[in-house]
Amino acid sequence: DAGVIQSPRHEVTEMGQEVTLRCKPISGHDYLFWYRQTMMRGLELLIYFNNNVPIDDSGMPEDRFSAKMPNASFSTLKIQPSEPRDSAVYFCASSLRFFRETQYFGPGTRLLVL
């Protein structure tokens, strides 16, 4: 069974450009989480969804960040416009509703904004 799939694995862009990160959760999982990992702030939860509905976006750093989950098998995290301080590794994770203590992480997307 495939795990959580993220694309792209690496992204290099210039400041001001729009960046879209993609995630496909494990089939049947109804919770999806987006995390960001930086040297300065460590690993932090940005937003999570239950059955495609955003539940808590309190970790989203600012309005330049947005996340959507149009269906149960796909989510996007968009940054517009991107800034150098957005450079980080972005992880997506998914879980079952009653087993949210077991989250399966994707391989991450390493984003570099020049």
Amino acid identity, residue 67? A
Q: Does 53 bind another protein (CB under 8 A)?
A: no
Q: Which is nearer to another protein, 82 or 95 (CB)?
A: 95
* Residue 89 touches another protein, criterion: CB under 8 A: yes
Rule CB under 8 A: is residue 107 a binding residue for another protein?
yes
Considering only the stretches 21-29, 30-38, 64-72, 74-82, report the one whose residues sit in contact with another protein under the rule CB under 8 A.
Answer: 30-38
Q: Which residues pair with 22 in a beta bridge?
A: 7, 76
Q: For residue 97, give the DSSP letter.
A: G
DSSP 81: S
Nearer to another protein, 74 or 105 (CB): 105
Main-chain phi, psi angles of 99, to 5 degrees: -135, 45
CA atoms within 13 A on the CB side of 66: 8
DSSP state letter for 25: P
Residues that bind another protein in the complex, under the rule CB under 8 A: 31, 33, 35, 42-45, 48, 55-56, 89, 91, 93, 95, 100-103, 105, 107-108, 110
